Structure 1
Amino acid sequence: MVYRQRKRNVLAGVSLALIILIIIGIISYRTIHKNQQEVSWQKQTYDNLESIKAFQANINGAETGSRGYVITGDSSYLFAFDKYKISNDSILAKLIDRTKNNQIEQASYKDLQQLSNKRFGRLALVQQTASKEGFKNAQYLINQGIGKRLMDSINIITNNIVAKERASLQSMEESSAKTARIVFFTIIAGTLISVGLIIAMFFLLVEQISRTQKSEQNIRKAKEAEEILSDKLLQQNTQLQEFAYIISHNLKAPVNNLNALLDMHLTKENPADREFVFQKIEAESRNLKSILNQLLEALKVKQNVNKRKEKISFEEVFFRVKELLSQQITELDARLNADFSKAPYINYPRPYLENIFLNLLSNALKHHQPGRKPTIKIETENEKGIIVLKIQDNGQGINLDKYGYRIFSLNKSPLENNNKESGISLFMTKTQVEALGGEIKAESEPGEGTTFIVYFNTSKS
């Protein structure tokens, strides 16, 4: 009865954790969708402001040209008049169409359209009068002030529209920032609760296994008391939605395996079979512990994105790491060729850069092609302000079409027939690079070697 109750508690806890993660995913999706709409509205607002700016420039240009013609009689001033008129007609037509779902805003643009037509009509009348009746009569029309009153009305409407558009833009930006903060803290809280539940359920499983084992040992009197499994709990304060996915993806299978093994353990009647299953449970528990520790390391990297940066010499870091790997380099008679002339320095956290060099160089040495002397080429480049590090080897190479998805995966090796090897070094390298806004990718051919390319983001302070 106690076991069944504990099992129900475990299943309820795991289910609740998964439900929380699903809810976080739904909230994130809805927020992203809402933000996309707000971005679209913001873009339209920016477009409207640019259109109003172009409208004002056109009408001012037309008025300047018309006055220049009246004053000087030079017809070249009228060259762009028709172009300004056509351009403004097009701008106002687009603005009216964009605001078809907002009748109040659309009414302002229709008023502006009417005033624009009147103003261009007045300018055309002045030009015709100057051409047919003389410039004095045209000057008389100008002095009547009708054109100025039209321009004053146009300026009032455009200023009101600009003010409303800017207020709307500010409101949308504030709303987006507020929504982002709410979702961020929701994701943090939900993730921490989910992790807490999963860890608590893990403790319940470990406790139940220990109790069952002790009971069997007491009945058979054949074995000494087994050590109670203990794990250092992962205490995390995550800031990224991506970490929630990593947790659900990497812990779901081990927890399910432990639950299945526990069921199997209680159904076996043969002591030898039960001992065999318990050994499997122990192995799965150690695997779960390893995954938790690796995720903790990744979390520490993500939390330390503001680690102090300093100006570092690539050559200095290279020689330091080369010294650390000197025994492997000597044993393999490896040749390392480094050229940092195109980008000798970088502003970056020193521990991260040293770890990136160490992981990539040790990976190249580790996966050398048997029977071939390892040759590793290290170079840096500056591609339009972006510092790029390339590490190329002539090792075993990787079938990217078949195993490319494993290269930076946790607990997976991209090499064929090497599934047991942990991929933690490349996983951590990718985590460190991306934590600071950079990118890492690989190019490889089986039997020809691999090139890792790191694009550093040095813009973050």
Structure 2
Amino acid sequence: MKKISLKTSIDLTFAVFLVAFVVLAYSTYNRAQSVHHNRLIVNQTSNINTVLEKVLSSAIDIETGARGFTITGDTSYLEVYKTGDKNLAVWIDSLHSMNETDALQLQKLDTIKRLVESRKIISAHIIKTRKEEGMEQAVSIVKTGRGKEVMDSIRASISSYQNESVRILSKNLSETEENVRARNANFILFVIIAFIVVVFAYVKIRQNAKQMVFDKIIQENLMNELTVQNQQLNDFANITSHNLRSPASNITALISTIEENSTVEEYQMIFEMLKKVAQNLNDSLNQLMEVLHIKKNKIIDKELLPFQEIFSRTLESLQGEILKSGAIIKADFSQIAQVEYSKIYLESIFHNLISNALKYRDKVRIPEINIRTEKKNGNIFLHISDNGLGIDLEKNGHKIFGMHQIFHNHPDAKGIGLFMTKTQIESMKGKITVSSEVNVGTTFTVMFVP
């Protein structure tokens, strides 16, 4: 048998190598295309869930606008209703275009459209009744609970829609992970074959060979991105629940002050307070939407803000808690009357620090809160002091501004306010400090950097 020459052996080896390379390259290409396809599905699923949230938000706007107009007769609520109605059509059309080839999702979308139309009809009927027959007739329609049933059905349908999207997303993420593993396996196999060929062909020329293997996993990057998005949603949910909880509790507190023998003047006074709290609640909702815009664009608008105006708005939104506690609140802005700052952030700072002073008051003495401003070393300082329960700084000082940190047993304590306040202040290059003594009181000092 004729011995195969080295040249022939090298030629045959490289021929095998070339065939293996083509096969592996083709397989890797197919896997990469599959990964790309699944990426598109992941992106589409994320977009669909985002639009679904906007559909729900617009439906809530319709409900809120109708209910607000029914209760107050304020026509500004009709703008909320009209905006929600207009946006709904846009988001529903967007969902339809995103799911043109998915019969199951289109069927769910039809269900949502029918429920939304029912909600719009009910809201339109309530508004018409309020205009033509008065608040009592409109409220009687609301009390039937039909509108609530439809909204609950809308939420359930959207949740089902989202769950199906998440299921599809999970399936495609699993397929993507398998394709990535298969592609990496192909890559490793290719490296092994190449290594064997190089060693066989050049063993007499080169005695030493080094192998380098590079491994990059796409799935890890995708999961990191989803984790960041989930954290942003969680942070916004915490901020929203914290900012809206106080106006809601104040409304409850104001209503609880009304008794059977209350005079007409007392009713009128409470109603005026409720109107202010409701207006501030509506402003808070608008401001939270502005927070999203700011966070997205990373631009924080500043304006010249009078401290007295922000302070007065804060007291209006906390009227219920102030009446309930009998708190004495004094403010002195004579040294520094205004500051150039973000309005959203400054209102949040006042609200969080004053509401905390009311929330953690000492039950055995009348709450006293003193607020003043001063200017020192070119910086503006805001001091908010109380005579409440105080904080053991030696024990808890290092975690006082941490997320979900609670130092007193209070049913409404969530550990969000101080964390959010510190984050907002530091985003404006400022600083917040605290001094406190247990059973004596607490002073928060905010430094505004020009």
In the superposition, the TM-score normalised over structure 1's length comes to 0.45
Q: Which has the larger radius of gyration?
A: 1
Give the TM-score of the pair, scaled to structure 2.
0.46
